[in-house]
Amino acid sequence: MSVLAPARAERIKDIASIAGVRTNQLVGYGLVVGLDKSGDKTLFTGQGLRSMLARLGMTLPPGVDPRAKNVAAVAIHAELPAFSKSGQTIDVTVSSIGDAKSLRGGSLLMSPLKGADGQVYAVAQGNLVVGGLSASGLDGSKITVNNPSVGRIPNGATVEREVASPFAEGNDLVFNLHNADFTTANRMAEAINRTLGPNAAKALDGSSVQVSAPSDTSQRVTFASMIENMMVSPDDAPARVIINSRSGTVVINSKVTVQPAAVSHGSLTVTISENPQVSQPEPFSDGQTVVTPQSDISIEQENNRMFVFNPGVSLDEIVKAVNDVGAAPSDLVAILEALKSAGALRAELIVI
């Protein structure tokens, strides 16, 4: 007999993550060489090149400024995934920090990547893949596609140090919800208890569920895999309206309701057109040509349309009412803001 998953059910691994199992940010500084005269002209790039050559056993004469046009100073950043082991590789992103025009065709020399604790966790090196390009002419014309001063190196860094993980520590595993919700946390604990038995899991708060786990590491991996593939039906998101003020986009979720309200919609258009008149004097007269302004003003007002929202009106009825009066997205924004100000909109209004 098969058990059907609840409606809108999702795997626990899609809505939650294990506490302590996370990525770590790495950052470093390095030099990109081999550029086609599109490198830096800054002083600190020359200093970096001098320091690198000194470490390799080459000492430049005092007073020599190595301003090579094919070298660029760059910042390097990467994410170190959880459980990364020494010898594995990760992708890195390389960004110019000087005035280099382009990193296309360049190669990053060996650069250490450090974590927030100042320790070196990876070493990056390799040829850059740059998705942008830039070209200019002698007359000053220039064209740029994407961003040529940023590139990536797939598998460009080798992990040198492992990050300690709390996964195998303690007697419990804590699952943190990506979106905190008391109902979802309670349903998640209930779903785990139905499979593992009573009191196997308990919700600590609106975002965390604690589950008793075996102490043996191999058994804990199997246990975590089983938990992650359990199905849970998340609760619906709170009533929310999101407005993008730049594009006029409005997103309304299904939980938005409106209390009794009457809305009047109409528009007033004022048009002013200038038609200057030129007064030309008679030939051989002492008069002067005069420009006389003449303005035509017209006012057009659409017929006001009024519609009424009944108590607890749903999303479908809101959209239908707005479409019936022919409101544009900008008009819808004004209507929603007015309803919120009047206390008739039962939803969180977010403007981005």
- Sorted by sequence, the CB contacts under 8 Å of residue 21 that are 6+ apart come out as 82, 83, 165, 167
- Sorted by sequence, the CB contacts under 8 Å of residue 308 that are 6+ apart come out as 260, 261, 262, 263
Pairwise CA distance, residues 36 & 72, whole Å: 11
Helix, strand or coil, per DSSP, at residue 219: helix
Query: Which DSSP letter does residue 191 get?
Result: H
Per-position DSSP letters for 265-326, written without gaps between them: E--EEEEEEE--EEEPPPTTSS---EEEP-EEEEEEEPPPEEEEEPTTB-HHHHHHHHHHTT
- According to the model, what pLDDT value does residue 2 have? 39
Which position has the token pair 């209507």? Answer: 335
Helix, strand or coil, per DSSP, at residue 335: helix
Query: Which DSSP letter does residue 146 get?
Result: S
First to last CA, the chain: 49
Contact in structure between 350 and 241 (CB atoms under 8 Å): yes
Q: How many CB atoms lie within 10 A of CB 200?
A: 16
Q: Supply the pTM of this predicted model.
A: 0.66
Pairwise CA distance, residues 200 & 196, whole Å: 6
- According to the model, what pLDDT value does residue 229 have? 92
Helix, strand or coil, per DSSP, at residue 10: strand
The number of helices, as runs of H, and strands, as runs of E, in the chain is 6, 25
Pairwise CA distance, residues 23 & 81, whole Å: 4
Contact in structure between 275 and 294 (CB atoms under 8 Å): yes
pLDDT tens digit at each of 352 positions of the chain: 334 444 578 899 999 999 988 899 999 999 999 888 877 877 777 777 777 777 777 777 776 666 678 888 899 999 999 999 999 999 999 999 988 888 888 999 999 999 999 999 999 999 999 886 666 655 555 666 678 889 999 999 999 999 888 888 888 999 999 988 899 999 999 999 999 988 899 999 989 999 999 988 889 999 999 999 999 988 877 777 777 766 667 777 777 777 666 666 555 455 555 566 767 777 766 667 776 766 565 555 555 555 566 665 666 666 666 666 666 666 666 777 777 776 677 777 777 7
Tokens of 59: 């000492």
- According to the model, what pLDDT value does residue 3 have? 44
